[in-house]
Amino acid sequence: MPKAHTSRINDAQRQRLTISKKSDRYPPSTVYLQVLGSGATGAPNTLYLFTDQKRYLFNCGECTQRLAHEHKVKLSRLNHIFITSKSWRNIGGLPGLSLTLQDVGVPNITLHGPQGLDELYKATKRFVIMKEMNVTMAKCTASEDFEDNTMTVKYVFLYRNFMAMFGPNTQHLVLNSQNACLGSEAVHRTQHKLHLLDGDIFPMLRDASVPAIALAQFQKIIAIEGSKEDGQAAKEEKGAKLEIALAQFQKIIAIEGSKEDGQAAKEEKGAKLEVIAGRTLTMFHLRPKIHLDRSAEPKLHIQDYIQETMDVDGFVDSLESFRRLTDDVRYSKSDSHKEYPKVVFLGTGSCIPSKTRNTSGIALLIEAHRSAAGAPRRVRVGRPAARARIPARARTDLHVALHDEGMTAAVLACIGARRVQTCLVSHCPNAFGVAIQVDGDHKLTYSGDTIPCPALVAIGENSTLLIHEATMEDELAQEARTKMHSTTSQAIDIGRQMNARYTLLTHFSQR
């Protein structure tokens, strides 16, 4: 979580206020709208208004900050955030974004939206501490407009009725759950590379909303590249690489290609109706010239991802050795071997999301028909019907939309666990570790954020799997202690102390 440094923040705030006063004297020369989140299920419905003087954000659902970071959309010059309704999909990213804006020196943020929107900050004040940034609530009524040197905003309570008042030439940019674009190309790049190692451990993402290069184009690339090689040995090595890559690509196209044509047809139909289905980075320029621009929308370059991996020295030989090892393990399994419980990592990062790694999130699949909490649409973990959610602490990166429930026998039966134990760990107030006894054979322990903690060792004794945070590298042991986190070696040592069969590290720094 971003930490406030008062003197640095105050200097940044003074500089921003000086720049803002100068820019308020004249209208901006460049204005455009840019879609950050398309509103698809699993993505925020977030619109970014850019001018060469100020920035404005419309809605701020979860993942807004991660998409902005991945696509290099700077939110640090925001002054106004407009919220269309008080639903979680519109405000889930506000607490985390507010802390980041405070840390970079934004002095004031004005919220525009339904009455009571600012109650979110009162409800989260124990861990969203806004000492250095002033958050105010604008008065939003049908009779009072918001106006500055950039634009005028009219508050409309029922957009569908208001929509009919526009002329036939008006273009409507739609961000809602009918869209499909989840907006991230970086997660696909990483997953395609990992999928080469093992398709079961690193399955393909089910998100088919980002268009991929056609297979015919990829085969043409292979033909061109293969003909350039000199020497029989080089040809054979190249051929082995390309054979693996092409087989990989054909499987991917079967998964991802079928949806692309249907989406294109929908968009063409929508264009005739002057209703535009927004995708991440769809841009609508308003000044100096009005026009729609889709050139920046994310696309998958699968052949590049695979080729980058294949070009790593020694990768093909290492891949063959690894596959022989995993095949031996699979063939040696008895018929009685259970596929579940299964652990799926939805994020492994610390503090704030990065381009390729989301903040920490773990889905525990206890049975095939009992899907884990919060599993995103990208990951093939079944239907997202949450049986139970166990937050490790009350902080914005382990989010706030969770309920306190007694862990009764009925709840344990519902999630298929025999026993759930928790203990206080050494991090912030109300930080917990958890140990889950799934059945007689499997026990999983999760540390949450903590320094090495004896209480965690006690509840996690003889675990099948310990998942432990490893925020800092060993050279930063003193900093880890100051920030109440663990280093890599400390996490491994905790696994040894509790006699865990396997130790898996997570929550490591984005750096």
Q: What pLDDT does 445 receive?
A: 94
Distance CA 213, CA 303 (A): 8
Q: Given a cut of 50, is residue 403 above it in pLDDT?
A: no
Report the percent of the chain where pLDDT is more than 70. 68
Q: Is the dihedral of CA 65, 69, 71, 72 positive or negative?
A: positive
Q: Which residue has the higher pLDDT, 224 or 323?
A: 323
Distance CA 414, CA 45 (A): 33
Q: Which residue has the higher pLDDT, 137 or 358?
A: 137
Count of C-beta atoms within a 10 Å radius of residue 305: 23
**Amino acid letter at 31?**
V
pLDDT band at 367 (very low <50, low <70, confident <90, very high): low
Phi, psi of 446 (to 5 degrees): -125, 130
Q: pLDDT digits over 229-253, tens only?
A: 445 544 555 455 545 544 444 444 4
Q: What pLDDT does 391 receive?
A: 55
Q: What pLDDT does 375 receive?
A: 37
Q: Given a cut of 80, is residue 368 above it in pLDDT?
A: no
Tokens of 90: 């519109």
Q: Given a cut of 60, is residue 438 above it in pLDDT?
A: yes
pLDDT band at 94 (very low <50, low <70, confident <90, very high): very high
pLDDT band at 161 (very low <50, low <70, confident <90, very high): low
Distance CA 436, CA 211 (A): 40
Q: What pLDDT does 269 receive?
A: 44
Domains of the chain: 6-174 (3.60.15.10), 186-262+301-321 (no CATH), 338-506 (3.60.15.10)
Give the DSSP letter string of 144-172.
Answer: B-EE-SS-EE---S-HHHHHTTS-TT--E
Mean per-residue pLDDT, 1-26: 63
Q: Which residue has the higher pLDDT, 452 or 361?
A: 452
pLDDT band at 500 (very low <50, low <70, confident <90, very high): very high
Q: What pLDDT does 498 receive?
A: 95
Tell me the average pLDDT of the chain.
76
Of the candidate ranges 145-149, 313-317, 456-460, the one whose mean pLDDT is the lowest: 145-149
∠ at Cα 71 (70, 72), nearest 5°? 95
Q: Given a cut of 60, is residue 265 above it in pLDDT?
A: no
Q: What pLDDT does 240 receive?
A: 52
Tokens of 106: 């934004």
To 10 degrees, the CA torsion angle through 120, 123, 126, 128? -10
- Residue 361 in 3-state DSSP? strand
